[in-house]
Structure 1
Amino acid sequence: MTDTLLALSTARCRIAPLHADDAAALAAITDASVTDQVDFLPTPFTAADARALIAGSGGGDVFHAVRDRREGRLQGVIGVHRRDARAVEVGYWFAAAARGQGLATEAVDAVVREIAASRPGAAIIAECHPDNERSRALLRRIGFLATGQTGRRPGRRVMKWRAGPGIDVC
């Protein structure tokens, strides 16, 4: 796998890298409910912030648009972050209107499976705040388990995909 997922499709969405013309839509879906959870996003998240995030995407940090298949509207973002030669981190946020419909689960699962297929043996991790139960539940649904490790970001705990038998201790 390169550091860019060229394109993925699921039953309800298309996933491809964000482009410069996505800045306004990205700013629109990145409200305080997102910036309160994602420590590297400023509040408020403006179109200028969106342009900067998109321009910086590439190399070890690639941000992907999740669009609904019918209308092509931006519904969410999935970041794929190379931690080192053997570990990849995924992170995501979705528009308030897209939450609670299973779209995030479908899209994040597709990205994680693509990473696993293209990087056999690589650790796939996510950092999640213990109080973010919706995100923790999504990660558990697609095969992540708590590791008990503290994340790099403030207040976050590390979860690992297919970590093997264990107990969720976050």
Structure 2
Amino acid sequence: MTETLIRLTTPRCRIDRLVADDAADLWAITDASVTSQVHFLPEPFTKDEAAALIARSRGDDVFHAVRDAAGLAGVIGVHRRGAGEYEVGYWFAARARGQGLAREAVGATVREIAAARRGATVVAECRPGNARSEALLRAVGFVPTGTAGRRPGRALFVWRAAPGERIDVC
């Protein structure tokens, strides 16, 4: 399966592919607090760059909209890195931070990937010192591997299913 598209509804949000009509909203939530952390986003991030990111979102690299009652609240990227390995990355609007929405959306996305792709490894990369992002990753079940990520200055985390979600063989 090469398509990494997720479609979910949680108690407070909907998660689905970003579409061309989202470009202005994507631009609006992608400020310097985001572009300073996400290495592939230019600063300043323009509406044209938002449209281009949405246009290239397909196949193994899909950017998903996280929508709450107020509109576009964040983005979750799901990227196939190789046979059976998927990377999750995210950013959220300043207005949506600190409310647990990212934990809810990222957690649901990771669980969906694991359920739909049994045996897959789900990873994330985090800049050391980004305490809020690391706390989010740990809260949804990621653990640090102690190794560097693929991107400069990033640490690699791997998702571990909660004991009730694992299938152990005796």
Residues 103, 13 of structure 1: CA spacing in aligned structure 2 closer, same or farther, 3 A cutoff?
same
Mind listing any 5+ residue stretches in structure 2 that lack a counterpart?
Answer: 164-170
Equivalent residue number for residue 105 of structure 1: 103
Partner amino acid for 2:149? Answer: G
Q: How many Å separate the matches in 2 of 1:34 and 1:143?
A: 23
Aligned residues: 163
Which letter does structure 2 place at the counterpart of 1:87? E
State TM-score, norm by structure 2. Answer: 0.92
Q: Percent same amino acid among aligned pairs?
A: 68
> Which ranges in structure 1 are unaligned for 5 or more consecutive residues?
166-170
- For 2:58 and 2:92, the matched residues in 1 are separated by 20
- TM-score by length of structure 1 reads 0.92
After TM superposition, which residue ranges in structure 1, 4 or more long, deviate above 4 angstroms?
A: none
Question: What is the CA RMSD across the aligned residues, in angstroms?
Answer: 1.6
Match of 2:66 in 1: 66
| Separation in 2, partners of 1:13, 1:86 | 27
Q: Which amino acid aligns with 2:89?
A: G
**Residue matched to 2:82:** 84
1:92 is paired with a residue whose SS is: strand
Corresponding residue of 2:122: 124
**Distance in 1 separating the partners of 2:147 and 2:4:** 27
Query: Contact 2:6–2:112 at 8 Å: present in 1 too?
Result: no
Contact 1:4 1:17 (C-alpha < 8 Å) held by counterparts? no
* Paired position in structure 2 for 1:135: 133
Between the aligned partners of 2:8 and 2:133, the Cα distance in structure 1 is 22
Find the aligned partners of 2:144 and 2:158 in 1 and give their Cα distance. 6
1:5 CA displacement: 2.8
Contact 2:85 2:120 in 1 (8 A): yes
Structure 2 residue aligned with 1:25: 25
